[in-house]
């Protein structure tokens, strides 16, 4: 299938294959408001893109197909529910063409782990197809298409560090120094809608405040100060994730006992994220977590890093 189409039929700017690298995210502040009439929740969502990457390669093909490689590949749908496939479809529809492309996903981001892995592949596929088909779609339109695919997808395109408001899709860049992290991958995933539903259940009958992000967290981020950031990390979905997966408390305890400055559930979980002082501390905490038996795998990463990027 790869290279099976004569590239001269694709226009002067078209390419034979395009690979896009795209990062995972961690939410350093996830403030969640009450459920809206449309079922979504307003957020104050401070995203940080970290150096744990998927790669999506787009190649001309007769029809839309998806393949995936990586340790969690068996859990990734290869039909049109895959966010990468949906991205190709919406971009093709906008351009008035068929989504005739093969998408290969090299997946390192945990699946259903709260690190926006599917969203990352959606943003990457959009950028890859845009380049493959020589469309040069304006950035603002790509961001609109991303928002239609999912609340986290615009951030996967943009990367670095940003505050997401609305349902998380309205982005304002924020300054951030470099921070080092260890991620502990849990056995099995958690469904994002189920975690939001559990948040609703836990907060039923209470007055859920408007979501907001305080200045202390933004100052800590801008200063690149890990101690200050550790003191302000917060995730309103954490009680819901812990209620659905109580064993995550053991992982959080193991990471902090191993010397992490702070531990938090990443987004809707069940991946847990540990902020550490530097790369050496990251290696130590990752080894201790692996030895603790409280997680399936560990990843060391740092951020901010750029969003979806076409590789040369």
Ligand X SMILES: C[C@](O)(CO)[C@H](O)COP(=O)(O)OP(=O)(O)OC[C@H]1O[C@@H](n2ccc(N)nc2=O)[C@H](O)[C@@H]1O
Q: Residues marked as binding for ATP?
A: 110-120
d(CA 153, CA 151): 6
189 binds, among ligand X, ligand ATP, none (CB under 5 to 8 A by kind): ligand ATP
Residue entry with tokens 């009450």: 34
Q: Does 152 bind ligand ATP (CB under 6 A)?
A: yes
DSSP letter (8 states) at residue 274: E
Q: Does 43 bind ligand X (CB under 6 A)?
A: yes
171 binds, among ligand X, ligand ATP, none (CB under 5 to 8 A by kind): none
b/e 285-304 (16+ beta carbons within 10 angstroms → b): bbebbbebebbbbbbbbbbb
- Catalytic annotation on 130? no
Which residues make Cβ contacts (< 8 Å) with residue 141, sequence separation at least 6?
94
Describe the crossing of helices 139-149 and 117-132 by its angle, rounded to 10 degrees: 140
- Catalytic annotation on 107? no
Q: Does 4 bind ligand X (CB under 6 A)?
A: no
To ligand ATP, the closest distance from the beta carbon of 109 in angstroms equals 7
Q: Which of 29, 41, 104, 180 is the binder for ligand X (CB under 6 A)? A: 41
Q: What is the dihedral of CA 110, 111, 114, 120, to 10 degrees?
A: 90
Nearer to ligand X, 122 or 226 (CB): 122
Q: Does 130 bind ligand X (CB under 6 A)?
A: no
Q: Which of 77, 173, 188, 259 is the binder for ligand ATP (CB under 6 A)? A: 77
CB 143 within 8 A of CB 104: no
Residues 225-264 that bind ligand ATP (CB under 6 A): none
**Catalytic residue among 25, 54, 72, 130, which?**
25
d(CA 186, CA 154): 26
Residue 257 to residues 84, 117, 168, 187, 293, Cα–Cα distance (Å): 39, 28, 32, 21, 14
Residues 100-119 that bind ligand ATP (CB under 6 A): 105, 111-119
Q: Does 151 bind ligand X (CB under 6 A)?
A: yes
Residues identified as active-site = 25, 152
Q: Which residues bind ligand ATP (CB under 6 A)?
A: 76-77, 81-84, 105, 111-119, 121, 152, 189, 192, 267-268
């Amino acid at each position: 299938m790869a290279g099976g189409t004569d590239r001269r039929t694709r226009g002067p700017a078209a390419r034979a294959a395009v690979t896009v690298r795209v990062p995972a995210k961690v939410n350093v502040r996830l403030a969640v408001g009450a459920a809206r009439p449309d079922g979504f929740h307003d957020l104050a969502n401070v995203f940080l893109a970290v150096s744990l990457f998927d790669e999506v390669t787009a190649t001309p093909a007769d029809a839309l197909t998806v393949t995936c490689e990586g340790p969690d590949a068996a859990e990734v749908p290869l039909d049109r529910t895959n966010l990468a496939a949906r991205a190709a479809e919406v971009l093709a529809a906008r351009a008035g063409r068929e989504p005739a492309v093969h998408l290969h996903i090299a997946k390192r981001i945990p699946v259903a782990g709260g690190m926006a892995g599917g969203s990352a592949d959606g943003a990457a596929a959009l950028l890859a197809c845009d380049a493959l088909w020589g469309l040069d779609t304006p950035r603002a339109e790509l961001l609109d298409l991303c928002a239609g695919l999912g609340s986290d997808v615009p951030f996967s395109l943009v990367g670095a560090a940003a505050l997401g408001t609305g349902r998380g899709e309205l982005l304002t860049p924020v300054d951030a120094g470099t921070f080092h992290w260890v991620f502990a991958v849990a056995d099995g995933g958690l469904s994002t809608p189920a975690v939001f539903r559990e948040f609703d259940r836990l907060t039923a009958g209470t007055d859920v405040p408007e979501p907001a992000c305080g200045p202390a967290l933004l100052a800590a981020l801008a200063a690149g100060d890990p101690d200050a950031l550790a003191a302000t990390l917060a995730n309103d979905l954490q009680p819901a994730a812990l209620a659905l997966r109580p064993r995550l408390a053991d992982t959080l305890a193991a990471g902090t006992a191993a010397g992490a400055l702070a531990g938090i559930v990443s987004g809707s979980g069940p991946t847990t994220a540990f902020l550490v002082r530097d790369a050496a501390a990251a290696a130590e905490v990752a080894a201790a977590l692996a030895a603790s038996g409280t997680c399936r795998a560990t990843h060391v990463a740092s951020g901010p890093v750029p969003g979806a990027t076409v590789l040369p």
